[in-house]
Structure 1
Amino acid sequence: MDGHRRRPYQKHNRFRYLLLPAISAISGAILLLYFLLSFLAPSPDHLHHLGHHTSFHDKSIDIVDDTSKVSSVFKVPTSSKIISERDLWTTSRSEFYFGCSSASTQFPKAPAVTRPNRYLLIATSGGLNQQRTGITDAVVAARILNATLVVPKLDKKSFWKDASTFSEIFDVDWFISHLSKDVKIIRELPHKGGRKWSPYSTRVPRKCNERCYHIRVLPLFSKKRAVQLSKFDFRLANNLETDFQKLRCRVNYHALRFTDAIITMGQTLVNRMRNVGKHFVALHLRFEPDMLAFSGCYYGGGEKEIRQLSKIRKRWKTLHISDPEKERRQGRCPLTPEEVGLVLRALGYGKDTNIYVASGEVFGGNETLNPLKALFPNIYSKETLATKQELEPFTPFSSRMAALDFMVCDESDVFVTNNNGNMAKILAGRRRYFGHKPTIRPNAKTLSRLLMDRENMTWEEFSTQVQEHQVGFMGAPNEARPGRGEFHENPTSCICEKSKNKPKTISSLPRKASDNKVDETVDVFIDKIRNSYNEEEEEDEDKDGIVSNLNYFLNDTNVVDFSTGYEETELEELLSD
């Protein structure tokens, strides 16, 4: 009986001894798992930092009062400190330089060298500023060939879809008369036997120099009196004889004048910007869908962004698949509107700065622009400065709208470009020629890394590094060595230095030791930065591919209308060969 009673007790006791170790083991496992999760899970600060790395969506700018204590968290001050080292609205030593493009005594007048019955026609390509480059080079090409130039035809077939003629954008009478001493220019090809001549059409290679034109084009005039050069964009060498370079400047900076209608409306926009404040910054934002799709960059917009940009990229079936992270690290991605704003604030431009934005449709709309507006509330555009009725004559024409933006950017106290396309290069060269007005080009390769890592530093550290990295990218004299980069961006042959004796062009100035050791150190530092940067650019430009031909898409402030039937066969033309 006792044995029967003990049996259940023994079973219960044995079960209790087995249960306790099991409970302990499970509890230990849960506790261990908890510690592992706590250790591996990212902190809220890290998640916030990651958000700044990848996305411009759903973000707010942290702006703190200047009187608050500096913390390790990245905070943008409500106001910027005065930059004592430089004036925000002028460039250092700019008063010692001026534009000089007069022909030398060894450059004969056009009537003495122009051959009879030798006519050159060109067909431009691209948007307004790419065509402007082609027109400028066409005048020089006509002079090299001693030919009469027929007023250039503008591109009406590309996806910019602007049917404007030369005389509807530029003052054709001024163009012809102002260049009469350099090149004979006529409006139309003359008739022969009651019929208009049919020109022989050909294309010259890119960067064709004087000898190239003499070999490839000159013999054609013995067979045909009229020769047309098609797809005329960047078909003239960057480095030419000084007189030809100066002719380029006379065309670009003096002969190519917009029509009265464009000038009047453009000046109205400038005056209205002046009315809201003494100074203003013009920002060529270039953050449109076509630009982002073509660059292959990613901005953290998730599936929606990938889907939208991929749809546009399908238009170019031969477009290479890029590594977005690599493109970003190498500075080939446009900065976001917020990042551009942060750079400007770091350079000393306060929250009350008036900014004119030259841009088409910004990718992401207001959601993308809001962070920039938080940094700079006073943002304007031609659409906000003018009524629909005032813009009505220009709105249907992308080149005329781009011309208005060009005028405001040219007249601005400071011009900021978010890319290095045709408009940016032409404006940079023009602003150098007319007094070296500040032209800020973000040093994207260095700033991209800094911007991605900004949450790991204070605002003071960030601002200091931005100012250091921007040395050589502010539009000051002698930022680039003569002959480096594109001539339209750095027209050194047409910029002279004031001296007691006579003006000397920058390209002819001998290097001499500076009396000021600080200036000497800065000059060396600038040369080092610009030379290394230009070498990388030249390597890119020599590749017949995406980077060198990105200029077509960086061209203007208006976007592509992808709703229309764009032909894949035009890809090669879009990429400028």
Structure 2
Amino acid sequence: MVKPKSIKNHPRFVLLFTPKTPQKSPFTPSTYILLSITLILASILCFTTINPFVIKIHTSTHSPLLLASISSVYQDPNADDNNSPVTLSVPSIVPLPPRSVAGTEFWDQPDGEGYRPCLGFSLKYRRRSVKIVNEKKRFLVVVVSGGLLQIRNQIVDAVIIARILEASLVLPVLKGDESEFSEIFDVEHFRKTLKADIRVASSLPSTRLVSWQSLENQIPHNVPPFWIQARFFKKLNEDGSLVLTGLDSKLSKNLSPDLQKLKCKVAFHALKFAKPVRDLGNRIARRMWIEGPYVAVHLSLEKELWVRTGCPTGLGPEYDVIISEERESSPEFRATNSNTNCPLNALEAARLLKESGAPANARVYIAGSEPFGGDRAILPLKTEFENVVTKDMLARDGELGPYRNRTTILTAIDYVVSLSSDVFLPSYNGHMARALQGHRAYVGHRKYVTMSMDLKGQPQPRGKRRDRDVIVYPVPECMCKH
């Protein structure tokens, strides 16, 4: 239908406002005004009548994130939301709402100072995107390895490098892991979220097959974008494809504002766990949440960490001797200083929680891999707090069965439950601690307890420190005051 050039020529305009043709309508202009007012009043009355039954959790602000987190408490955990449109107003993982207990300061949340996610890209970035998202001649393949959070960090950097090189990114290949990308992350969501930034390809075209012997892994630490361009752009143009490995913590932390925002977009929006993983994580998180506020303690008590740091295990002389002997038998550990950046053992974590004000009846969720020393390693926490649980205790028959030997997926479940916790305490400043520090800030500055016994969670600007990653410190590049 062709639209009229002017509203004055529109038949409805003539009908409603021209008094010369009253025979075409039994209503006068005053009648229309009265009818409109009546409908408005009826709508208001109807809304105020049913409103108490719509939502029973009263909040002072109704942000998209909060409304999404409240609705997630009641949604069907098996509902598939892949068909819903991608929006940057809500992160890929929506934590359950925090709670407080009257008279118990420990559960109080920090003041977010009005900071909320803001990922507005510049006009120059968006103009350049028109060409990049349609790129079908240059392909970047990345091979990632390590634990879940190392994989996540390398994928974030891979997207940035693909953007810098103006190349299509092939779905990352997981090396040395028992899972594929699609088993951990939602592929379609990843592709849809980044469709305005880069093109994501499922695989290399047959005309672009490369030999694994051509892997490029000579990337020094802290390289800026211009180094990436100078080193790889010509080769990528000539060969049509490039394979990179060893990306962990290689890209500079100081990037342009647009690339910093893109890192946050990948970490907090594009990397969504695959449906079976997120559904199980959400179910276990709800089982914790429904009973009241809880604290998640991530214990890094694996044997490898004790060997690497050389710190006392807190398990007694016989266990410390085992660690000492293994260090002596490994040349790479003999050259390192022991007792530096030591993780908290369970006893130290329990003391830290108590000194921070955690009540004895606080519900404690223990996240982390199987500790060195088994149940003995976490006994001090169970002694100090009467309600200590793990995902194994919360899971029902058969829920964890398919993932018993899938370390990355078990870590993902711990991640989901820890993100929804009212308070988070990491025992070691490792990948999990840094990832949850940034993610908890991005979803509303949720409280976490540091090893220096400070209760934190309030906005901490990244500043100009070269070692501060924007996905750990999203203020101010990815979060603005509203």
TM-score, length basis structure 1: 0.62
Residue 145 (structure 2) aligns with: 125
Residue 217 (structure 1) aligns with: 232
- 1:284 pairs with 2:298: yes
- 1:111 pairs with 2:130: yes
- 1:298 pairs with 2:280: no
Residue 159 (structure 2) aligns with: 139
- SS of residue in 1 equivalent to 2:174: coil
Residue 490 (structure 1) aligns with: 473
- Distance across 2 between alignment mates of 1:319 and 1:147: 40
- 1:433 pairs with 2:442: yes
Assess if the C-alpha contact under 8 Å between 1:283 and 1:355 holds in 2.
yes
- SS of residue in 1 equivalent to 2:166: coil
Stretch moving more, 182-191 or 228-237: 228-237
Residue 485 of structure 1 aligns with an amino acid whose one-letter code is R
Assess if the C-alpha contact under 8 Å between 2:314 and 2:345 holds in 1.
no
- Distance across 1 between alignment mates of 2:479 and 2:294: 25
Q: Taking structure 1 as reference, are residues 90 and 242 closer, same or farther at Cα in structure 2, changes over 3 Å only?
A: farther
Q: Larger Rg: 1 or 2? A: 1
Deviation (angstroms), 1:122: 0.6
Residue 477 of structure 1 aligns with an amino acid whose one-letter code is P
Residue 428 of structure 1 aligns with an amino acid whose one-letter code is Q
Correspondence for 1:406 among 387, 390, 415: 415
Assess if the C-alpha contact under 8 Å between 1:190 and 1:197 holds in 2.
no
- 1:367 pairs with 2:376: yes
Residue 63 (structure 1) aligns with: none
- Distance across 2 between alignment mates of 1:312 and 1:386: 35
Deviation (angstroms), 1:321: 5.0
Unaligned runs of 5+ in 2: 1-100
Assess if the C-alpha contact under 8 Å between 2:268 and 2:439 holds in 1.
yes
- Distance across 2 between alignment mates of 1:83 and 1:312: 49
Residue 187 (structure 1) aligns with: 202
Assess if the C-alpha contact under 8 Å between 2:110 and 2:457 holds in 1.
no
Correspondence for 1:478 among 452, 460, 475: 460
Deviation (angstroms), 1:426: 1.1
- Distance across 1 between alignment mates of 2:230 and 2:423: 44
- Distance across 1 between alignment mates of 2:303 and 2:119: 39
- SS of residue in 2 equivalent to 1:123: strand
Report Cα offsets for 1:136-163 as digits up to 9, x if no partner.
110011001111110111122xxxxx32
Q: Taking structure 1 as reference, are residues 270 and 218 closer, same or farther at Cα in structure 2, changes over 3 Å only?
A: same
Assess if the C-alpha contact under 8 Å between 1:167 and 1:259 holds in 2.
yes
Report Cα offsets for 1:151-209 as digits up to 9, x if no partner.
111122xxxxx3210001100111111101000110100012xx834474212222211
Residue 116 (structure 2) aligns with: 98
Assess if the C-alpha contact under 8 Å between 2:156 and 2:267 holds in 1.
yes
Deviation (angstroms), 1:338: 1.2
Q: Taking structure 1 as reference, are residues 395 and 314 closer, same or farther at Cα in structure 2, changes over 3 Å only?
A: farther
- SS of residue in 1 equivalent to 2:141: strand
Q: What is the total number of aligned residue pairs between the two structures? A: 376
Q: Taking structure 1 as reference, are residues 148 and 307 closer, same or farther at Cα in structure 2, changes over 3 Å only?
A: same
Deviation (angstroms), 1:116: 4.0
- 1:196 pairs with 2:180: no
- SS of residue in 1 equivalent to 2:183: helix
Deviation (angstroms), 1:314: 5.6
Q: Taking structure 1 as reference, are residues 154 and 95 closer, same or farther at Cα in structure 2, changes over 3 Å only?
A: same
- SS of residue in 2 equivalent to 1:94: coil
Residue 155 of structure 1 aligns with an amino acid whose one-letter code is K
State the identity %: 31
Deviation (angstroms), 1:285: 0.8
- Distance across 2 between alignment mates of 1:297 and 1:125: 26
- Distance across 1 between alignment mates of 2:363 and 2:180: 34
Report Cα offsets for 1:389-446 as digits up to 9, x if no partner.
1101111211111111111111111111111111111111111111111122212xxx
- Distance across 2 between alignment mates of 1:441 and 1:319: 27
Deviation (angstroms), 1:310: 3.4
Report Cα offsets for 1:279-303 as digits up to 9, x if no partner.
0111111112211111111246555
- SS of residue in 2 equivalent to 1:229: strand
- Distance across 2 between alignment mates of 1:390 and 1:340: 29
Assess if the C-alpha contact under 8 Å between 1:438 and 1:474 holds in 2.
yes
Report Cα offsets for 1:41-62 as digits up to 9, x if no partner.
xxxxxxxxxxxxxxxxxxxxxx
Q: Taking structure 1 as reference, are residues 375 and 300 closer, same or farther at Cα in structure 2, changes over 3 Å only?
A: closer
- Distance across 2 between alignment mates of 1:313 and 1:175: 41
Report Cα offsets for 1:347-405 as digits up to 9, x if no partner.
11100110100022222333332221121110111111013511011112111111111
Cα RMSD for the two superposed structures: 2.3
